[in-house]
Amino acid sequence: MKTNSVKVLWSAFYAFYQFAPARQTIVLFLMLAQGLSAGVGLLFILPLLQIVGIDMGGTYQGVAATATWFFETFDLKLKLPHLLVIYVVIVAIIASSRFFLAINTTILRQRYVNYLRNDMYRQLLHSSWPFIVNNKISDFIHCLAGQVQAIGLASYLMLNLLSQVILSLIMAGLAFLLSWQISLIAIGFAFVLFCLLLPLNRVILGSGQHQLLNFKAVFQILTEQLSSLKMIKSYASEAYHADKLAEVSDLLEVQQVRLTKMNAITQWVYIVGAAISFSGFFYISQVLLDVTLPTILLLLIICSRLLPQLMNIHKTYQQLLHQVPAFEDVHKMKKEFAKVQEAPVGKASIPMLEREIKLANVTFGYPGKDSPVFCDFSLEIPKNQTIALVGPSGAGKSTLADLIAGLLAPEQGGVYCDDQLLDNEYRLAWRSRVAYVTQEVYLLHDTVRANLTWVRPGIGEEILWQVLKMAAADTFVANLPQGLDTVVGDKGVRLSGGERQRLALARALLAQPQLLILDEATSAVDSDNEQKIIEAIKSLRGKLTIIIIAHRKSTLAHVDRCVNLEECCERAGEQMLRESV
Ligand code: ADP
């Protein structure tokens, strides 16, 4: 798809401006003031020194004469100390404007980055589950960690570009007042230089696209590898995995060098072009247009300031072009987030399970799959029953648990809590009644206490020990070096698999759920730990509704009912067949 860079940059700038219009305007004015005041301090002091009789060699006669006229007209008698004070005041005003500019630009940039990151992360968390699992987590991390930072910088660059363009227009206006013919020729030269460099823009845009893909690859490699370091080390495949990252890093290096080359070529063309245009100026003004030498000199002074300005504008534009793919990527992600936002709970009351959870004629399939996982599937789970979902791998046990938990929405039919259909805002509301324990336990690199209490902040220690006891985790936590305040390590690496599972079970119980889902929670633990978890489940039986997905007979021995999904699916299939016949 062809990218309209100017349109992308304009809409990005508009979004940035809309974020804080007042502060943007202040910053823009400060940037302009800074640009206009460059060198003003020196320009002022020299003629003023002339007024008090210090001969500066006649260079500033004109300005000095004007200043003298000004002071004489208003009968102001100035001596050297007064002049020096004026000089200091002027420089102090300029320095203050720089100070405010530096602070305001940082505030603007950082607030925008914060806003983008926080807003997008919130949207990501509120996105539907199928969207989340169908995307790469590394892409989300790359976007939230790197892209938004780059976009903050690029947005500020756009404001800077605007101020540079305004300053250049002012200088060009001055040049026009002095000699419109020469100014037109100068603009013609600048236009030719710009056109000469146009092919570079396409290369820079392409380089930005490659950089985006390569950075995404780096994030993907790092996310995948760092979460599987044990596997990498156990296969002694450190070198292979390090090489994978090195390959992409090499590409990024090439990319950066190429971008710098483009910038350097631009500078070269401008400098050599400037030398050619200066010579052309001189010749045309003197020989053909008969412009006086002082005017030519003044024009040259203006052009010598204008040219670096134009060079800067072009450089900033190239930097922005390089960021266009990043802008597009973030914009696309924001649009996707907006499409998949879950309905907020709003005024929906949280459903209270009194009788049963019911699936009525549910049909559900994953996008891109030929056949649905469930077709016209119905099931009733009475309150406080413990049921097991069994069947071969791929039969749909986890999918069914996700449907019941309100993570997935059926395409047809409905999931009910008593008579309440769990759709839209009720699906999200229902999730606060559900606790899910999966084989892979989510543990923060923090204390046992912190890992428990985020589900119920501010809860007392007594209740923590109660749930730990219910999950058969009290003994091992009590034996940890700092008890509840022991740090468990990354993903709980300092605990055994069984201990992690029991901690996850304790946390699930702390949330006081009405429905507890244990998805393969006992499959990766040894028989001793499994026995402990089974004991915990047995003690919970009849107190809340429990759905267990497990293979081991020992785990299934203590449930009220087994639902064999293979049989259910076969029955549903036969029924469909009968109906279609
Ligand atoms: P089980 O838990 O019984 O092993 P699952 O519910 O995980 O089975 O999967 C049921 C079917 O749905 C399988 O064919 C699986 O490949 C497919 N499936 C599961 N998750 C996804 C997904 N996110 N996208 C596409 N297909 C999926």
Closest residue by Cα to residue 521 from 435, 446, 579: 435
Tokens at 21, concatenated? 């219009």
Taking CA atoms, 15 is separated from 8, 18, 102, 146, 152, in Å, by 11, 5, 22, 19, 11
Give residue 11 CA to ligand 1 midpoint distance, Å: 40
Mean pLDDT check: name the lowest of 104-108, 549-553, 576-580. 576-580
Closest Cα to atom 10, ligand 1: which residue? 396
- Across 171-184, b (16+ Cβ under 10 Å) vs e yields bbeebeeebeebbe
Which of 160-174, 343-357, 455-469 has maximum average pLDDT?
A: 455-469
Scanning the structure block, which residue is given the tokens 């107190």?
543
Specify the pLDDT at position 348: 73
Q: Give the separation between CA 174 and CA 168, rounded to whole angstroms.
A: 10
Tokens at 501, concatenated? 């599972």
What is the end-to-end Cα distance of the chain in Å, rounded? 48
Decide if 443 contacts 491 (C-beta within 8 A): yes
Taking CA atoms, 216 is separated from 35, 143, 223, 302, 334, in Å, by 38, 9, 10, 45, 17
Q: Give the separation between CA 389 and CA 3, rounded to whole angstroms.
A: 50
Hey, what long-range contacts does 75-80 have (CB within 8 A, 24 or more apart)?
Answer: 78/48, 78/51, 78/52, 79/52, 80/49, 80/52
Residue 548, sorted as left (phi over 0), alpha (psi -120 to 50) or beta, turns out to be beta
Tokens at 560, concatenated? 């009220």
Residue 358 phi, psi (nearest 5): -130, 135
- What is the percent of the chain where pLDDT is above 90? 29
Specify the pLDDT at position 576: 41
Closest residue by Cα to residue 163 from 59, 68, 47, 32: 32
The model's confidence at residue 59, banded by pLDDT at 50, 70 and 90, is very low
Residues paired with 386 in a beta bridge: 546
Q: Give the separation between CA 275 and CA 135, rounded to whole angstroms.
A: 53
Going along the chain from its start, the domains and CATH numbers come out as 5-339 (1.20.1560.10), 356-580 (3.40.50.300)
Residue 400 phi, psi (nearest 5): -65, -45
Residues paired with 363 in a beta bridge: 412
Mean pLDDT score of the chain: 84
133: Cβ below 6 Å to ligand 1? yes
Best residue for ligand 1 mutational test, from 135, 373, 377, 411 (most atoms within 8 Å of Cβ)? 373
Mean pLDDT check: name the lowest of 261-265, 282-286, 290-294, 566-570. 566-570
227 has pLDDT over 90: no
Q: Give the separation between CA 176 and CA 183, rounded to whole angstroms.
A: 6
- Concatenated DSSP letters for 117-134? HHHHHHHHHTB-HHHHHT
Decide if 508 contacts 435 (C-beta within 8 A): yes
Specify the pLDDT at position 42: 52
Specify the pLDDT at position 401: 94
Mean pLDDT check: name the lowest of 28-42, 329-343, 433-447. 28-42
Q: Point out the ligand 1 atom lying closest to the alpha carbon of residue 368.
A: 25
Give residue 395 CA to ligand 1 midpoint distance, Å: 8
Instruction: Map residue 379 onto helix, strand or coil.
Output: strand
Q: Give the separation between CA 449 and CA 506, rounded to whole angstroms.
A: 11
pLDDT, mean of residues 369-377: 88
58 has pLDDT over 60: no
Write the pLDDT tens digit of every residue in 156-192: 889 889 888 888 888 788 778 777 777 787 778 778 8
Decide if 444 contacts 451 (C-beta within 8 A): yes
Q: Alpha helix (H) ranges present in 284-423?
A: 293-339, 397-405
Instruction: Map residue 267 onto helix, strand or coil.
Output: helix
Q: Give the separation between CA 253 and CA 546, rounded to whole angstroms.
A: 54
Q: Give the separation between CA 519 and CA 548, rounded to whole angstroms.
A: 6
Amino acid at 263: N
Give residue 375 CA to ligand 1 midpoint distance, Å: 14
Write the pLDDT tens digit of every residue in 421-436: 998 889 989 998 999 9
Dihedral angle of Cα 249, 251, 257, 260, to the nearest 10 degrees: -100
Give residue 369 CA to ligand 1 midpoint distance, Å: 10
Give residue 400 CA to ligand 1 midpoint distance, Å: 10
Write the pLDDT tens digit of every residue in 470-503: 888 888 899 999 999 999 888 888 888 888 988 9
294: Cβ below 6 Å to ligand 1? no
Give residue 396 CA to ligand 1 midpoint distance, Å: 6
Sign of CA dihedral 435, 441, 445, 447: positive
Taking CA atoms, 482 is separated from 447, 461, 501, in Å, by 9, 14, 20
Sign of CA dihedral 167, 172, 176, 178: positive
Q: Point out the ligand 1 atom lying closest to the alpha carbon of residue 519.
A: 2
Best residue for ligand 1 mutational test, from 128, 362, 399 (most atoms within 8 Å of Cβ)? 399
Give residue 527 CA to ligand 1 midpoint distance, Å: 27
392: Cβ below 6 Å to ligand 1? no
Residues 6+ apart with CB under 8 A from 268: none
Specify the pLDDT at position 306: 76
Closest Cα to atom 6, ligand 1: which residue? 396
Higher pLDDT, 527 or 238: 238
Specify the pLDDT at position 132: 93
